[in-house]
């Protein structure tokens, strides 16, 4: 079986490399190829540089769209117009493909048109609900309406449509039509060597994410105003200068560690006792999953998607709005390391049992074979 895998619109292997996730993302394809005999043909929005980033030991075909099909324009509107023609150019590349797989809602119009042209089943995977995020981020009526329409079109034409959280599934089912093919396929974590919590930093806090409003790092900094705790933040973004000023004005020691490759980041998680997320909203946060799987004591803001991952005082803690002092909270937790050990063990066990890569591999194998065996996929 061969899967034609369309990247998120505008994304390439170079994008994955710059975000530090290249090795982890490719590992999923490697596992599916080696253990389930599933072949992949990757269609990226990259140029010839993507050929250099694909390890030679991976038997994966790659088609960088801005090398093989079009030249990328500096004008984003021109590239968008080209994407409407792209399915017609891609037809010949999909002649030996059994399933069209699209990695996000962004770019799904390419997959939908392609499906109508070559009449092969479409599997659309979403990591988060773009329409909901556009509302949270107040993107403006035109973008919000566009994402709503695109979501409805994608749901109608997809033979399988996967989401990463139960909340997204419930939301789509309540808000849209043609939702019978929605599947729950959460993000995955890899097993790691767990460092004893007694050997970890206990006065330094780890947080990971883009330095943007969604992640609400300002709140994180203010929680530690005039305390003796240090905060290490992994990530880049447009608010870095503002956050540096906020930390200085509130006497908080914050170390901005920049973007870190995912393999190295796994080792970093294991050095910290506490991981904190103060996000305003989330999809299925990979950083929290990774922190849990590395045995960190995770404290997370009281938002629905965090509650889907964390059972308060069982495998982590929820930061309620009523909290008076984060310093007192952490000091209380550290006073009972035996309890923290139980929380840490629960976090690892829960993450590996629910979100381990082997579970996802088995589910994807089933999905691919189910979608090719459906007699009504062209309806």
Cβ atoms 224, 249 nearer than 8 A: no
Look at residue 123 and tell me if it is in a domain: yes
Share of the chain above pLDDT 90, in %: 94
Both 205 and 293 in one domain: the answer is yes
Average pLDDT of the segment spanning 167-195: 95
Both 127 and 260 in one domain: the answer is no
Look at residue 283 and tell me if it is in a domain: yes
pLDDT value at 242 more than 80: yes
Look at residue 241 and tell me if it is in a domain: yes
Burial of 375 (0-12, 13-18, 19+ CB in 10 A): exposed
User: CB under 8 Å to 20, separation ≥6 — which residues?
Assistant: 259, 260, 261, 262, 264, 265
Question: CA dist 100 to 80, 114, 119, Å?
Answer: 20, 8, 10
Return the closest-CA partner of residue 287 out of 203, 375, 208, 202: 208
Q: What is the pLDDT of residue 377?
A: 43
CATH number at residue 123: 3.40.50.2000
**Domain span including residue 286:** 197-355
Look at residue 325 and tell me if it is in a domain: yes
Q: What is the pLDDT of residue 323?
A: 75
Average pLDDT of the segment spanning 313-320: 95
Average pLDDT of the segment spanning 262-279: 96
Q: What is the pLDDT of residue 379?
A: 38
Cβ atoms 77, 56 nearer than 8 A: no
Q: Phi and psi dihedrals of 120, rounded to 5?
A: -125, 155
The answer for 274, left when phi > 0, alpha when psi is -120 to 50, beta otherwise, is beta
Look at residue 379 and tell me if it is in a domain: no
Both 214 and 177 in one domain: the answer is no
Both 50 and 183 in one domain: the answer is yes
pLDDT value at 41 more than 80: yes
Mean per-residue pLDDT of the chain: 95
Dmax over CA atoms of the chain, in Å, equals: 64
Look at residue 43 and tell me if it is in a domain: yes
Per-position b or e across 35-49, b if 16+ CB within 10 A of its CB: eeebbbbbbbbbbee
Average pLDDT of the segment spanning 330-335: 94
Q: What is the pLDDT of residue 375?
A: 44
pLDDT value at 261 more than 70: yes
Both 332 and 366 in one domain: the answer is no
Return the closest-CA partner of residue 292 out of 234, 339, 331, 346: 346
Both 239 and 300 in one domain: the answer is yes
Look at residue 240 and tell me if it is in a domain: yes
Q: What is the pLDDT of residue 276?
A: 98
User: pLDDT grade, residue 57 (50/70/90)?
Assistant: confident
**Which strand (E) or helix (H) includes residue 233?**
strand 230-234
pLDDT value at 376 more than 60: no
Both 157 and 280 in one domain: the answer is no
Q: What is the pLDDT of residue 324?
A: 72
Average pLDDT of the segment spanning 346-361: 96
Is the pTM here over 0.75, yes or no? Answer: yes
Average pLDDT of the segment spanning 283-292: 97
**Which strand (E) or helix (H) includes residue 169?**
helix 166-175
Return the closest-CA partner of residue 292 out of 360, 190, 214, 221: 190
Q: What is the pLDDT of residue 192?
A: 87
Look at residue 378 and tell me if it is in a domain: no
Q: What is the pLDDT of residue 43?
A: 98
The predicted-structure confidence for 213-225, as pLDDT tens digits, reads as follows 999 999 999 999 9
User: Please, which residues bridge with residue 356 across strands?
Assistant: 189
DSSP string computed for 72-111: PPS-HHHHHHHHHHHHHHHGGGGTT-SEEEESSSTTHHHH
Cβ atoms 198, 272 nearer than 8 A: no
Range from 5-9, 169-173, 327-331, 341-345 carrying the lowest mean pLDDT: 327-331
Both 67 and 180 in one domain: the answer is yes
Could you give the number of structural domains in the chain? Answer: 2
Both 202 and 149 in one domain: the answer is no
Both 286 and 160 in one domain: the answer is no
The predicted-structure confidence for 69-123, as pLDDT tens digits, reads as follows 999 999 999 999 999 999 999 999 999 999 999 999 999 999 999 999 999 999 9
Both 266 and 339 in one domain: the answer is yes
Q: What is the pLDDT of residue 378?
A: 42
Both 163 and 21 in one domain: the answer is yes
């Amino acid at each position: 079986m061969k899967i034609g895998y369309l990247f998120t619109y505008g994304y390439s292997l170079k994008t994955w490399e710059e975000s530090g996730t290249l090795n982890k993302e490719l590992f999923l394809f490697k596992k599916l190829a080696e253990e389930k005999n599933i072949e992949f043909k990757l269609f990226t929005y990259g140029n010839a540089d993507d050929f250099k980033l694909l390890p030679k030991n991976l038997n994966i075909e790659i088609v960088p769209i801005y090398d093989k099909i079009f030249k990328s324009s500096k004008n984003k509107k021109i590239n968008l117009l080209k994407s409407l023609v792209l399915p017609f150019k891609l037809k010949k590349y999909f002649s030996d493909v059994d399933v069209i797989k699209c990695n996000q809602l962004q770019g799904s119009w390419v997959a939908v048109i392609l499906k109508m042209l070559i009449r092969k089943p479409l599997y659309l995977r979403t990591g988060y609900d773009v329409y909901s995020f556009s509302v949270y981020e107040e993107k403006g009526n035109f973008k919000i309406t566009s994402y709503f329409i695109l979501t409805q079109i994608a749901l109608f034409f997809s033979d399988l449509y996967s989401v990463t959280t139960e909340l997204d599934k419930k939301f789509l089912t309540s808000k849209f039509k043609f939702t019978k093919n929605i599947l729950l396929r959460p993000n995955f974590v890899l097993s790691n060597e767990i460092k004893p919590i007694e050997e970890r930093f206990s006065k330094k806090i780890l947080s990971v994410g883009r330095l943007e409003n969604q992640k609400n790092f300002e709140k994180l900094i203010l929680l530690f105003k005039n305390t003796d705790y240090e905060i290490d933040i992994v990530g880049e973004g447009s608010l870095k200068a503002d956050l540096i000023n906020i930390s200085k004005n509130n006497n908080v020691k914050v170390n901005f560690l920049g973007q870190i490759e995912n393999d190295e980041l796994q080792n970093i998680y294991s050095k910290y006792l506490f991981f904190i997320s103060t996000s305003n909203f989330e999809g299925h946060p990979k950083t929290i999953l990774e922190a849990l799987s590395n045995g960190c004591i995770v404290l997370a803001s009281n938002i629905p998607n965090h509650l889907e991952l964390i059972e308060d005082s069982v495998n982590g803690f929820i930061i309620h709005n009523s909290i008076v002092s984060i310093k007192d909270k952490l000091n209380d937790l550290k006073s009972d390391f035996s309890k923290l050990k139980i929380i840490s063990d629960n976090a690892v066990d829960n993450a590996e049992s629910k979100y381990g890569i082997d579970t996802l591999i088995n589910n994807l194998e089933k999905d691919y074979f189910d979608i090719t065996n459906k007699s009504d996929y062209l309806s």
